[in-house]
Structure 1
Amino acid sequence: MAMTRTQRLGIFPALALVMAVTRGAMHLHHFEALPDASWGVFFLAGFWLRGAGRWAFPLLMAEAVLVDYLVITSQGLNFWSHYCVSPAYWFLVAAYGALWLGGSWLARRQAGLKLSTLGLAVAALLVSEAACFVVSNGSFYWLSSSVPAPRSIGAWFENMGDWYLPFLQVTALYVGLGAALHVLVSQMTRALAHARHTH
């Protein structure tokens, strides 16, 4: 589903705002009051902003880094020595790219508000979220000095098992909210178009 330029210019700042607010809260509270929407935002952006990846994806990535930098340094900490920042941090480009591609893949194949689209959406989300998780978790586990040695494949799988479900639940929550909003707006747009046509 291709969006018009005007629609993209409305959707992009809304997604960017949601990510800024929740990503900042994540640094301060982790999974408590306001879970980080970044993963869901990148998936939804791939869906809604497909075709605008040359500018939208880099801007969202830059925003993610900027929010991290501002929140970390505002606490009097050095950005480069923070627990979450290591050589693995830059693998987030590939991890978030997987989510974007999942949303974009869905946008190209969806058939409107049908049950088949729901099945494709679930498949696209599960595959792209799993790819994102393996890249982000794996790079952190194997490259970050915050993870104590010795490292092993078995310990990595155990670590992934501890974190996979919470990340999937949060991502699915935000994508589900985005999908509900998408359905609502689509139905309202269709009703308005029908009303204009009949009058």
Structure 2
Amino acid sequence: MNTTTQRAIVLVLVAALMAVTRLHLPTSITHFGPVPDASWAAFFIGGFYLRQWSRWAFPAMMALAVLVDYIVISGHGINFWTHYCVSPAYWFLVPAYFALWAGGSLVRRFRTASHGRTLAMLVGSLVVSVALCHLLSQGSFYWMSASAVPDPTFAGWWKNYTDWFVPYLRVSAIYVGLAVIAHVGVEQIVRLAKPHGRTTR
């Protein structure tokens, strides 16, 4: 993904994936039941493919996430700014999502010719990124959203963190795994489409 066109295609695909799944479309539209939100994976994948565009691509993705939230909340006839999710903790999503973006960027920066090492790096980076994102997003909401958690305690926070960590990691890993499969598939197609270095006579 070194050309502007390739990066633009990835940006559109990742943004569309996040927007569609974050909208929480009803089953009558999707026909597949509730589709898990791919936002966390989208930022990780974006960090990998769009590392050189981070200065503006990350803010653009962040703005899209907020816009989708606004559409969803307003669509239910609720004032966006008074919704319980939009507390001061809501803005911790910026560093939380950047942790995911940075995780993907690190994999891109330090990947090697060894597919095994790169895969191990990807797995480790994804786990750490999701853990940090969850810490920032869940932790800020737990401690700063008095309407949702009127009597916060450390034990209550830890239970909430551990209860939700594996589900968030599982969903992110599924989407990232699908992206890896697509990446390998495209690489194979491109390799097969290239003319052989030696022609027969």
- Equivalent residue runs for 1:119-138 within 5 Å: 119-138=120-139
Residue 10 of structure 2 corresponds to 11
Distance 1:198 1:67 in 2: 52
Shift of 1:113: 6.2
| 2:18 alignment partner AA | M
The number of aligned residues is 194
Q: Does 1:152 align with 2:115?
A: no
Residue 21 of structure 1 corresponds to 20
Shift of 1:128: 0.7
TM-score of the superposed pair, with normalisation by structure 2: 0.91
| 2:93 alignment partner AA | L
Identical residues among aligned pairs (%): 48
Residue 197 of structure 2 corresponds to 197
Query: SS of 2:78's equivalent?
Result: coil
Mean CA deviation greater in 112-121 or 52-61 = 112-121
Query: Closer, same or farther in 2 for the Cα pair 1:4/1:112, shift >3 Å?
Result: farther
Distance 1:69 1:135 in 2: 21
Work out whether residues 142 and 149 of structure 2, in 8 Å CA contact, stay in contact via their aligned partners in 1. no
In structure 1, list runs of 5 or more residues that go unmatched: none
Residue 72 of structure 1 corresponds to 73
Shift of 1:179: 0.8
Residue 163 of structure 1 corresponds to 164
Work out whether residues 143 and 149 of structure 2, in 8 Å CA contact, stay in contact via their aligned partners in 1. no
Q: Does 1:51 align with 2:24?
A: no
TM-score of the superposed pair, with normalisation by structure 1: 0.92
Distance 2:2 2:48 in 1: 10
Distance 2:99 2:158 in 1: 20
Work out whether residues 44 and 103 of structure 1, in 8 Å CA contact, stay in contact via their aligned partners in 2. yes
Query: Closer, same or farther in 2 for the Cα pair 1:142/1:166, shift >3 Å?
Result: same
Query: Closer, same or farther in 2 for the Cα pair 1:144/1:63, shift >3 Å?
Result: same
- Equivalent residue runs for 1:68-147 within 5 Å: 68-112=69-113, 114-147=115-148
Shift of 1:112: 4.3
- Aligned-pair RMSD on alpha carbons? 1.6
Query: SS of 2:37's equivalent?
Result: coil
Work out whether residues 39 and 99 of structure 1, in 8 Å CA contact, stay in contact via their aligned partners in 2. yes
Distance 1:72 1:33 in 2: 17
Residue 175 of structure 2 corresponds to 174
Distance 2:95 2:127 in 1: 16
Work out whether residues 106 and 121 of structure 1, in 8 Å CA contact, stay in contact via their aligned partners in 2. yes
